[in-house]
Structures are given as structure tokens and as C-alpha cells.
């Protein structure tokens, strides 16, 4: 099943063309990596997908429904969740209660009891079950990243948008987070991820899309993308980096 179809999405901010005719498809069950230089339009694309911005042109089709321009709360209730690069936990709530918020306002609009039960499952997946009753404010950076992921998962999405969830993590924390991402996909959730940790995104993604100046300049298998001359010129800058990205 084709879960997500992005068709000629264009977004302008005054005289700035942030996205230009961005088109791609994401089948159910895949991990799709989205890379590109700073300012390429990656976060703007996420903001269009989850309803923060309406595009000036184009359509977003999700599970066969045109969701273009719907507000974020309607997008969330259709099954798209987002984990942000800058974590903003609800510090005065416990870890469990943070995840319950996702359940109550997500796809199934769960009751408090249902959300609490679902939170237990999610916290087990992300490795925070032993901290369920701690205040969110007591977590370290890596744990708060996992809580951000858990809160998104609490909404029971079909599609999970990951916005640089590896940023600020050390190598061992990155490896652990990648294992968690693979576990989430194995549980049936499709993933679209923005990432600057190139080795990580190349090794975890089934396919990769590259944006530059708001346009898709390459799409394909990770091995194909890193050897694409346009990608090397626009993003990597040095052909010698390509093999190292794949091999680590």
C-alpha cells in the first residue's frame, strides 16, 4: 500500500521559494531518509506534511485521503506523528503522563485508562519503562530524545516523522537509538526521517531523498544516492566521503 503521496508541493514565504514541486511516494513499512544541506527545505516539508503550513501548490495524500492544508490536530488524528529535534517535554508531568498526552490527542483519542495502558507498551519499546514514574524534567538529553519519540508513538501513528532525533547524541546513544527505530518499523510503523548523521541515515534507510534549494535532486537506494554527482556537489562536497558514509 502507498501510505504517503506528495505531489508537486510548493511553498513560498514572500520572495523565498522554500519548496519547488516536491514529489515522492512512501510505501507502507519503509524507512525513508530525507537529507540535504541546511536551508534545503527539509523542515519546511515536514511542516507541510503535518499541517503547520499549507502549501501554495500541490497535494499531500495520506492513506488515499487528500489531507492538504488540514490543521495539525486533524493530521495527528489521521495517523501522522512527529518527533522534534528540539525536545520539549512536559516537565511537570511524569514520563508516563507525557506519553499519555500523545494517546489522548492522537489517532484513537484514547481515554486516560487506555492511554496509560498504551504508554506502558510504548515506554518498553523505547527503553524508558523503568523511568515511567519520574518527572520528565529529571531525564538526561538522550532520555528526553527517547521521551520525545515515545510521546509521538503514544498517538498510535501509521507514519512517524523523525526530525533529527540523533542530534546531540554520542556514538553509543546513536547506535541504541537506531536499534529502537528499527524496532518501531518492525512493529508496523512507517518512518520518514530527517537526519544529518549521514552514516546513520544511510545504514537505516530503505530509500533516501535529497533536497537542495527546495527541490528533489536525487532519490533511490542509499548506495545510489551517495554516488550521485549532484548530491556530492550539493551536499557532501567531497567524493572521497561517499564510501565512508556507507562503510562507517
102-138 pLDDT tens trace: 989 888 888 898 888 889 999 999 999 999 999 999 9
Question: Above 60 in pLDDT, residue 91?
Answer: yes
List the domains of the chain with CATH numbers. 1-78+158-173+189-248 (3.40.50.300), 80-157 (no CATH)
77-86 pLDDT tens trace: 999 999 998 8
- Per DSSP, the residues of the chain read -EEEEEEEEEEEETTEEEEEEEEEEEETT-EEEEE-STTSSHHHHHHHHTTSS--SEEEEEETTEE-TT--HHHHHHHTEEEE-SS----TTSBHHHHHHHHHHTSTT---HHHHHHHHHHHHHHHT-GGGTTSBGGG--HHHHHHHHHHHHHTT--SEEEEESTTTT--HHHHHHHHHHHHHHHHTT-EEEEE-S-HHHHHHH-SEEEEEETTEEEEEE-HHHHHT-HHHIIIII--TTHHHHHHH-
- Give me the phi and psi of 6, to 5 degrees please: -110, 120
- CA-based nearest residue to 164, from 128, 124, 200: 200
Asked if residues 225 and 210 have their Cβ atoms less than 8 Å apart, the reply is yes
Question: What average pLDDT does range 225-248 have in this prediction?
Answer: 65
Q: Which of 93-97, 125-129, 141-145, 243-247 is the least confident region?
A: 243-247
What average pLDDT does the structure give for the chain? 91
37-59 pLDDT tens trace: 888 999 999 999 999 999 999 99
Q: What is the pTM of this model?
A: 0.91
Question: Above 50 in pLDDT, residue 246?
Answer: no
Q: In which band, very low, low, confident or very high, does the pLDDT at 228 lie, cut at 50, 70 and 90?
A: confident
Top pLDDT among 236 and 45 is at: 45
Question: What average pLDDT does range 13-38 have in this prediction?
Answer: 95
Q: Please tell me the distance from the alpha carbon of residue 167 to that of residue 186, in angstroms, as a whole number.
A: 23
Q: Residue 99's pLDDT is what?
A: 95
Amino acid at each position: 500500500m502507498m501510505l504517503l503521496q506528495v505531489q508537486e508541493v510548493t511553498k513560498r514565504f514572500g520572495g523565498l521559494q522554500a519548496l519547488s514541486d516536491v514529489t515522492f511516494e512512501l510505501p507502507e513499512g519503509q524507512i525513508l531518509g530525507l537529507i540535504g544541506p541546511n536551508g534545503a527545505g527539509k523542515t519546511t516539508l515536514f511542516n507541510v506534511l503535518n499541517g503547520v503550513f499549507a502549501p501554495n501548490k500541490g497535494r499531500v495524500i495520506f492513506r488515499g485521503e487528500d489531507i492538504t492544508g488540514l490543521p495539525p490536530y486533524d493530521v495527528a488524528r489521521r495517523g501522522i506523528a512527529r518527533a522534534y529535534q528540539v525536545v520539549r517535554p512536559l516537565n511537570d508531568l511524569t514520563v508516563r503522563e507525557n506519553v499519555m498526552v500523545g494517546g489522548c490527542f492522537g489517532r484513537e483519542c484514547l481515554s486516560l485508562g487506555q492511554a496509560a495502558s498504551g504508554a506502558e507498551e510504548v515506554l518498553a519499546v523505547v527503553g524508558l519503562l523503568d523511568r515511567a514514574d519520574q518527572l520528565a524534567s529529571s531525564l538526561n538529553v538522550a532520555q528526553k530524545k527517547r521521551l520525545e519519540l515515545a510521546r509521538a508513538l503514544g498517538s498510535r501513528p501509521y507514519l512517524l516523522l523523525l526530525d533529527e532525533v540523533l542530534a546531540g547524541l554520542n556514538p553509543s546513544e546513536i547506535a541504541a537509538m537506531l536499534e529502537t527505530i528499527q524496532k518501531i518499523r518492525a512493529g508496523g510503523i512507517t518512518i520518514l526521517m530527517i537526519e544529518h548523521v549521514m552514516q546513520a541515515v544511510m545504514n537505516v534507510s530503505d530509500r533516501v531523498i535529497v533536497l537542495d534549494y527546495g527541490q528533489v535532486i536525487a532519490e533511490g537506494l542509499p548506495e545510489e544516492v551517495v554516488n550521485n554527482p549532484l548530491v556530492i556537489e550539493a551536499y557532501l562536497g567531497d567524493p572521497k566521503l561517499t564510501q565512508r558514509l556507507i562503510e562507517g
